């Protein structure tokens, strides 16, 4: 299966109108961003619940009771996951530990509509080629 779609997105305060904390993600996938978005929106409508509304407030890592129930019913989290979360956070619903887990849950939801969806993190580590720095300057003009 060819992962020929390069997709970038961020979660958190991307618009810098709060605490300015966000995480950028770069992935490759066998489906386009548009196809993934459409599948997610269809699922969200069918469920009458939008996962992207979870964990919206600053420092808010706990799912709503509705969110916890949906993820449990869909098999994305288990009773043992909930119990483990409550051992650490006794007064809360299931707690999403970090942005990577949030992204993972999102794609598991999308896979309900697109079961053959494959994605992976894109390696952004690159070498430098200083030989080209400043070359071709004459090609750019106002």
Average pLDDT per consecutive 10 residues, the chain (142 residues; last block may be shorter): 92 65 90 98 98 86 96 97 93 92 97 98 86 86 72
Residue in the structure block whose two tokens are 């969806």 = 117
pLDDT of the residue at 16: 56
pLDDT of the residue at 46: 98
pLDDT of the residue at 78: 97
- Euclidean distance between the first and final Cα of the chain, in Å? 44
Containing H/E element for 74? none
pLDDT of the residue at 9: 93
Helix 99-113 / helix 33-47 crossing angle, nearest 10 deg: 80
pLDDT of the residue at 22: 80
Query: Beta strands of 13-137 (E only): which ranges?
Result: 22-29, 119-121
Query: For the whole model, what pTM was predicted?
Result: 0.84
Which residues fall within 8 angstroms of residue 87, CB to CB, at 6 or more apart?
none
């Amino acid at each position: 299966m060819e992962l020929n779609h390069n997709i970038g997105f961020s979660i958190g305060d991307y618009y810098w109108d709060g605490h300015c904390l966000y995480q950028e993600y770069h992935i490759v996938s066998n489906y386009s961003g548009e196809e993934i978005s459409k599948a997610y929106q269809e699922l969200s409508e069918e469920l009458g619940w939008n996962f992207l509304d979870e964990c919206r407030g600053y420092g808010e890592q706990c799912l709503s009771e509705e969110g916890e129930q949906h993820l449990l019913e869909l098999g994305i989290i288990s009773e043992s996951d909930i119990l483990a979360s409550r051992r650490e956070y006794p007064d809360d619903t299931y707690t999403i530990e970090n942005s990577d887990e949030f992204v993972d849950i999102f794609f598991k939801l999308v896979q309900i509509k697109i079961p053959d969806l494959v994605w992976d993190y894109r390696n952004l580590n690159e070498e430098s080629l200083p030989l080209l720095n400043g070359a071709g300057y004459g090609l750019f003009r106002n």
